[in-house]
Structure 1
Amino acid sequence: METLFPFDKIRPGQGQFMDDIYRCLSTKKNYVVHAPTGIGKTVSALAPAVRYALENNKTVVFLTPRHMQHKIVVDTLRAIKCKNPDIDLSVANIVGKRWLCMLPDAKRLNSENLSEMCKKLKGADKCPHYKKIFKKSGDLSPAAVSVINALKENIMTSEDAKDLCNANGMCSYEILMQYLKESNVIIADYYHMLHPFVQKMFLSKLEKDMGDIILVIDEAHNVPGRARELMSSHLTSEVLDKAIKESDKFGFNDISKQLRKLKNDVGEYCIKHTGKEDEKLAKKDFLVNIVKKLYDDFNQFVNELVIAGDIVTNERKVSYIGGVGKFLLDWCGPDLGFVRIVKTNRNIMGVLGFEVCYDCLDPSMLTKNLFDKLHSTVLMSGTLTPVNMFMDVLGLDKLLTESLVIDSPFPRENRLILIKDDVTTKFTERSEEQSYKIAGNIVKTINNTYGNLGVFFPSYNMLNTVYELMSQFTIDKEILLEARGMTKGDKKALFKRFSSFVGTDKSAALFAVVGANFSEGVDFPGELMNAVVVVGLPLERPDIKNQALINYYEMKFQKGWDYGYTYPAMNKVMQTAGRCIRSETDRGVIILMDKRFLWNPYRGLLPRDAQIYISGDLSAELSEFYRI
């Protein structure tokens, strides 16, 4: 089995990429690779990983954060199978249970609540789709075996598998879970390996030792943030209100009284403790002591909430009482690597509320244990620099990890990066004059860019401030605005409107926010976005949580500002800039609109292989580029 690479031509950088992965798998090492768009990351990872897995009876689990990327992986595996028809390739493509479940309202539930509902329905023999899969003996039914055989014979997307199962009246999630143990390649979401609760169920169905799994993670720059989210827990006054109503409805009178007192006492503490500030650091004991005043035994109180929550979920899909119990359990977790914060806020009706936060600072508390148990892990992304930061932050053993930084394979002359050093969004220098200068530079860019472009701001406030100034200028494109809180339908409609200008004599400028809906995870191929403007540096607000993150990484690595503040902001910048060039024939301009991009360390984090210039006459520079 010399190679499984399915295409005739190997792109620059792909050969070393594939050789390195196979060698790392052979020595049980991890591999971190920064590979820009155009390298062909998916096939470069899959070809050697699948080859090694088939040779050594291992299983490849390929994680990707977006459902649309599953199709790319499926197509790549189909190409590998087509080029190598004799290999025994069995592929399971799974997504979250709520996207596969045929029951009404499944998409509204989180994974734990949906799993609890499924468990109860199956236990009561009330799920018709599940019943068709098994005989009374517990063995698979002949119809289920037939469906699983069809999955073996064809590399299917999760949508294809769902349609096949639905046509046979069967639960597609359960069929895919039964098929897992017979698969040697599994395409899954981050949740399946990162979420502790989901991971446990996933691995039980896979029936493989962790040491027999090769994990490939695409868009791996998302892993630190995703892991922190999964390890964090919040409790709000609104959730307590819902838990109280739930207690009243189900006749839990004692719990209702205790939750009312809990809400009152926590609210009083938050208001008093925060004073004139919106948020303050808190200690574990404050909440534990409040609970102990209500109920002598903290653990017993939590247990009663959990039991009441179980009773509620026999009739409802979600229990807020159970949610309060889970939060109190989380709150008593580790101190190191976490921060506890209390906040006060007013809702849209002006009612004062509070939030109690137990936030994870250190994603390695989740990922290190995972990576240490696996055969090998491959982490890849187009924005995975500096690679040492990702190794540190995720807890990878540097003695067992190799890395590679690949330059862009696209023609250098197709991408121009301009830095406008006459403006800044630096907080201490913000003014009406600065906003007007920024607006003027954006207008020059809009009027001298061929076709569509994207203009990305560090915040919605900045976006709205600049947009309000647009009426003072003459603009030859339609401006489309991303808004805070857009629904999936809203985003789809806006993207469709933006796309509709391609191939016409009109064009548009999309005003959006870095790190929101359109700066990452959305492809703008061909002439869909011919220029990208990044206005300012998307540095996180210096709030208590971010300061705690800086302090934590200073203590752990002596790199607090780098790991907690600067590098994450520049990764967002480069993710956003990457919307512009998606293939070797694309041409585009990236304009970084802030003088700080010339400062260290920001300048040193820009692509080493790009042509970067300080902009003088922006209109002339753009006209010259698009005339070539």
Structure 2
Amino acid sequence: MENRIEEEETTQQKIGNDELPAYPSSSTIPFPYGKPYPQQAALMDTLLQTLKLVDEIDDTRPNEKRKANIQMLESPTGTGKSLSLACASIAWLKYRQELDLQLMLQAGFTSEEEEQESEKKEDVHWLDAWQPQEEIDREKQIKMEKLDCYNRARSTRAALDKELERIRQSVDLDLNANLPNENCSRKDKLKYTRSARETVVTRVVRSRMHQKKNYQLNVSGKKRSRPSHQIQNDDFCVDEYDSDENRNSLGYTYDSDSDGDNDKLEHGSLSKKKECMDGKKKLYEKDLLDGGNLDGSGDIKKHEKATAVCPTIGNVTPSSGVRKIVYAARTHSQLSQFANEIRRTIWGDNIRVVTLGGRKLLCGNPDVTGSSDKRSEKMITEKCLDLQKVKVQSSSEGKSREKSKCACPLLDKDLVPVLAMHMLAKPSDIEDLAALGRKSRVCSYYASREALKAAEVVLVPYNTLLSKPAREAVGLSLKNSLVIVDEAHNIPEALRSISSSRVSLAIIEGASSQLMSYVAKYSDRLAGRNLFYLGQIKRFLTQVTRYLKNLHRKSKKGEDVASRVMVTATELLFTLKLDNLNLFNIITYLEKSRLSQKLHGFNDCRQKEKNSEHENFDDPNFISKHISSMSIIESFLKCLTSSEKEGRVVIDVKTDEVSSCCLKYLLLDPSTEFQNVMDEAHSIVLAGGTLRPFVHVATELFGSEKNLVAQAQGSDSMQDCKEGEEGQALVTASLTTFSCGHVVSADNVLMSCMSTGPNGIKMNFRHSSRFEDAICDELASSIIDVAKIVPNGMVVFLPSYSYESFLLTRWSRTGAIKEIELQKKIYREPKSAKDVEKTLQLYSKDATSSKKGAILFSVVGGKMSEGINFADEMARGVLIVGLPYPDITDPELKEKMSLLDRSSRENAGINGREYYQNLCMRAVNQSIGRAIRHANDYSAIMLIDERYSSDVSVWNGLPEWLRSKSKRTFESFLKNRSQLQDFYITKEDNG
């Protein structure tokens, strides 16, 4: 006890001598390549000023619950936005890491001045000042517990850093031994670094495997597990459900369906035998990666009372590890680009980064992945989970019990933490992680999850960030994390996608059949509220089945039945005569009783597992054998409890196959689903090159927060940034907005609005006229003439895939395609996403190898219009043909526009027409942004449609940095061609 008090006093004295670190700014952040552009410095300062404001609020009111601050940062593509975000966010994280430790200590101790002041108070009666000894002891105990939290976190973090540095030194030794030239290119050095990391981790894994075999040979007295042939179904019976009022005290857990993804890997005996560091206390990989050790909370189950009085380091969720930066992007290639930017920073050699991806990208077991081009993510997931569900019968102390055993040779519970440590040693993208796993023969998919709690930067796809169940499945907590979302204009659509729910007649009938078999099996053990709710669920399934079959029967007879009807959830329930059902109570029952999981286990024991090789994974009615049909019904029921504003139910009747008839819930208002991110995160950065008008994104993501929408609308009225301006920022504790000009000079960009073609025909690509022969032929002539002038690579963006296919088919018939080929080699955007990289490589080779170059036909809003880098010779010219307005007759779009019209009349925000216009112009601006990728790049941007010049709303929808470089005129094609020739002549002369 005396030693503990002395340690406390020593630490207390140390606090008074420590100075808090200075808050970072663009002038103090070490920036690669010397001084940042003014636009980059302005963006970094805006982000850091906002975080400072939020930090001050949280540090002075630590127990006050608040929603995350929102930062909407727009910086044109090519201005170095990603590098700026990486430098500023990591600088803030490093600052907070040290400050969090000091604040935790300060919160646990009373300063010497305060103690002296309390002793001087003379007006306190001696009786009032007296304190029972047990209270004094308890206060001392609390201080010691806080000190334990601090010491545990600090020592574990120091040990983790020491072990990772040892791994880095091993990698560097191998790299220096095999690097052919110290002055080799950065790309080659990254390649040799990856090879060195693979060599080191393979050597370590082989050593561990050898030790493990020797250890296992010495283990005796353990019986082998044997396959299970007996089925114990009693485990699947639901517990007694007394009443809705007692639902909070039933003690049920909230596990997801038994898909194997939520199970944490248990570390076996080998990790207890192998030491990772020297010191008084021996820490191993599992200890160094343990979230409770890193945040100071310890074992939650054993120290719940201690955790209540001991705040975690940085006030993160207990056992979630360190405070983090969570970076989300739409594609894995965008995540890899951000990982590369992190490597460029001063922290690039030692910051702990992990990328979360799917099994298709990370699984290294060829028996699971097969030919990965042929096997889908669903199929690979099925095979992975199959290997983890091998049933064995084990005996212990005379008792026999059934358990699951993993049959995958890569998923070794002792070696996964070893690979996780090597993943954290150096910043890694998804390709790095996959390569480390394949080379070492350890599962990189589960190792990336094991590394999550110790990671300082986590790179995730949109779905993982936006879905709360997905975050919980991988163990990702956003508490006190800085969340950065790149290309944030895509978030509303991503939320609609992950929040939709579809139940086909096949799924409904499957759930109904399973439920009936289940009730028949346990009828003598089910009573009271269990039978009541099971009956209500059965009633719902029966009514929906009858309704869909009846509609299908009428459609087959030729009766007037709409094949696709959109209704509200309330209207559907009234139609089904189920308006008296209390869906909230049913959902509570499903969650508390875990009926979906029990039905799945019961059904799994009754039926033989299917052979997944012969399953159709592209079938929309496909149901994984690892997921219960009832869990899909449960998700759909939750959607039906949403308000009328949030979404609609589509009744889809198929005339060919009755089992394909379905109900689909469509989310119209994504702001309700974005709330779970706002409720958890410390601050959310919505970044992108095309965020304005800010009110568009604000209406979509936080429409229920009227003050945020009003602030965003006010920031849109700020004057646009002109060429070379540092930026315009509006910083508040709730919402920050920022926009800046482009770093490229006006001389490096030429924009032309082509209203007519070479033959004087007006270029109007409205849907009603775009298929006319004269328009199609005039476009071909324009492309041929421009291709003669533009050197190297030229990208043509067309308004839709169908129009791209129509044009090239027609030009093949008329011979225009041969004339284009005489000027440049033709490439087309591939239909399959897996072929994009190969097409880009081939196009890049031809575009950069000669002045003749190549031409790439792509689609606005397609696979190559966002996140693709067409720098330098890959896009010396970009043609945007027409305006990609969405289909106005689409019922989902019409409902969304109607919803916005009603909302805009009541509150601030955009109306339906403005929303429709913004969707089109945002897609155009994204395509334009593919061309100018850095300050010294140059390109000509040609907008081929008369509406770019004649329609004010279209013109104003273009980015300000581009509008400032061109006048809104009606130039003839000959005039535009002349300007184009002069532009390239000037560039060649200066080059």
What is the TM-score of this pair, normalised by structure 1? Answer: 0.83
Q: Secondary structure at the match of 1:601?
A: helix
1:53 paired residue among 71, 74, 93: 93
CA contact (8 A) 2:419 2:444 kept: no
Aligned-residue offset at 1:404: 0.9
Aligned-residue offset at 1:279: 3.7
Amino acid at match of 1:620: S
Q: 2: distance between equivalents of 1:434 and 1:44?
A: 44
Matches within 5 A, 1:212-361: 212-235=480-503, 240=505, 263-268=548-553, 275=560, 279-284=564-569, 288=573, 315=609, 317-318=624-625, 321-322=629-630, 325-326=633-634, 328-334=636-642, 335-343=644-652, 356-361=663-668
CA contact (8 A) 1:436 1:466 kept: no
Matches within 5 A, 1:4-15: 4-15=30-41
Give the aligned CA root-mean-square deviation in angstroms. Answer: 4.0
Q: 2: distance between equivalents of 1:554 and 1:154?
A: 50
Query: Which residue matches 2:897?
Result: 550
Moved more, 260-269 or 392-401: 260-269
CA contact (8 A) 1:3 1:48 kept: yes
1:570 paired residue among 921, 925, 930: 921
Query: Which residue matches 2:447?
Result: 175
Query: Which residue matches 1:93?
Result: 355
Amino acid at match of 1:573: V
Query: Which residue matches 2:959?
Result: 607
Is 1:34 aligned with 2:386? no
Distance 1:345 1:264, change over 3 A: closer
Q: Secondary structure at the match of 1:124?
A: strand
Measured against aligned partners, the alpha-carbon deviations of 1:302-329 in whole angstroms (never above 9, x if no partner) come to 9988765565678354469457625642
Q: Secondary structure at the match of 1:438?
A: helix
Distance 1:444 1:250, change over 3 A: farther
1:201 paired residue among 473, 477, 482: 473
Q: 2: distance between equivalents of 1:401 and 1:118?
A: 48
Aligned-residue offset at 1:567: 0.7
CA contact (8 A) 1:61 1:214 kept: yes
Is 1:65 aligned with 2:372? no
Aligned-residue offset at 1:449: 2.4
Amino acid at match of 1:185: V
Measured against aligned partners, the alpha-carbon deviations of 1:447-479 in whole angstroms (never above 9, x if no partner) come to 432233222222233223333443354433343
Aligned-residue offset at 1:566: 0.6
Distance 1:34 1:110, change over 3 A: farther
Query: Which residue matches 1:465?
Result: 806
Query: Which residue matches 2:258?
Result: none
Query: Which residue matches 2:784?
Result: 443
Query: Which residue matches 1:137?
Result: none
Amino acid at match of 2:833: K
Query: Which residue matches 1:560?
Result: 911
Matches within 5 A, 1:421-432: 421=755, 422-430=762-770, 432=772
Aligned-residue offset at 1:276: 8.1
Is 1:524 aligned with 2:870? yes
Query: Which residue matches 2:879?
Result: 533
Distance 1:152 1:501, change over 3 A: closer
Q: Secondary structure at the match of 2:742?
A: coil
2:693 paired residue among 386, 410, 422: 386
2:463 paired residue among 191, 194, 217: 191
Query: Which residue matches 1:365?
Result: 672
Amino acid at match of 1:604: N
Amino acid at match of 2:682: H
Q: 2: distance between equivalents of 1:456 and 1:450?
A: 18
Matches within 5 A, 1:399-438: 400-421=734-755, 422-430=762-770, 432=772, 433-438=774-779
1:589 paired residue among 940, 964, 967: 940
CA contact (8 A) 1:233 1:330 kept: no
Q: 1: distance between equivalents of 2:658 and 2:86?
A: 53
Aligned pairs, number: 605
Moved more, 107-116 or 492-501: 107-116
Query: Which residue matches 2:833?
Result: 488
Q: 1: distance between equivalents of 2:785 and 2:563?
A: 40
Could you list the runs of 5+ residues in structure 2 that have no partner in the other structure?
1-21, 23-27, 55-68, 98-322, 370-374, 392-402, 521-537, 611-623, 712-731, 756-761, 987-991
Aligned-residue offset at 1:571: 0.5
Query: Which residue matches 2:155?
Result: none
Aligned-residue offset at 1:286: 6.4
Distance 1:82 1:229, change over 3 A: closer
Amino acid at match of 2:894: Q
Q: 2: distance between equivalents of 1:271 and 1:419?
A: 52
Aligned-residue offset at 1:131: 5.7
Aligned-residue offset at 1:223: 1.1
CA contact (8 A) 1:81 1:89 kept: no
Aligned-residue offset at 1:191: 1.9
Distance 1:127 1:6, change over 3 A: farther
Measured against aligned partners, the alpha-carbon deviations of 1:342-386 in whole angstroms (never above 9, x if no partner) come to 345788xx9997554321112211113312431111111111111
Aligned-residue offset at 1:187: 1.8
Measured against aligned partners, the alpha-carbon deviations of 1:196-243 in whole angstroms (never above 9, x if no partner) come to 2212223xx34x5x44111011121211111111112234xxx54588
Distance 1:37 1:121, change over 3 A: farther
1:108 paired residue among 355, 368, 377: 377
CA contact (8 A) 1:439 1:469 kept: no
Amino acid at match of 1:125: K
Q: 2: distance between equivalents of 1:564 and 1:120?
A: 48
Aligned-residue offset at 1:275: 4.5
Amino acid at match of 1:234: R
Moved more, 91-100 or 122-131: 122-131
Amino acid at match of 1:375: H
Amino acid at match of 2:355: N
Measured against aligned partners, the alpha-carbon deviations of 1:116-170 in whole angstroms (never above 9, x if no partner) come to 768756961224457622xxxxxxx4x4554344334322333333433444443
Aligned-residue offset at 1:61: 1.0
Q: Secondary structure at the match of 1:383?
A: coil
Measured against aligned partners, the alpha-carbon deviations of 1:467-510 in whole angstroms (never above 9, x if no partner) come to 34433544333433336xx2234434433442232213643332
Measured against aligned partners, the alpha-carbon deviations of 1:31-84 in whole angstroms (never above 9, x if no partner) come to 21111122211221122212222222331111122212333322333333458x
Distance 1:488 1:604, change over 3 A: closer
Q: 1: distance between equivalents of 2:555 and 2:736?
A: 47
Q: Secondary structure at the match of 2:802?
A: helix
Is 1:579 aligned with 2:930? yes
Measured against aligned partners, the alpha-carbon deviations of 1:508-540 in whole angstroms (never above 9, x if no partner) come to 332222112222222222211222222211111
CA contact (8 A) 2:870 2:930 kept: yes
CA contact (8 A) 1:273 1:280 kept: no
Amino acid at match of 1:212: N
Distance 1:233 1:564, change over 3 A: farther
Could you list the runs of 5+ residues in structure 1 that have no partner in the other structure?
134-140
Distance 1:468 1:567, change over 3 A: same
Distance 1:409 1:283, change over 3 A: same
CA contact (8 A) 2:364 2:441 kept: no
What is the TM-score of this pair, normalised by structure 2? Answer: 0.55
Distance 1:354 1:244, change over 3 A: closer
Q: 2: distance between equivalents of 1:569 and 1:245?
A: 42
Amino acid at match of 1:109: K
1:453 paired residue among 791, 794, 799: 794
Moved more, 332-341 or 16-25: 332-341
Find the structure with the greater CA-based Rg.
2
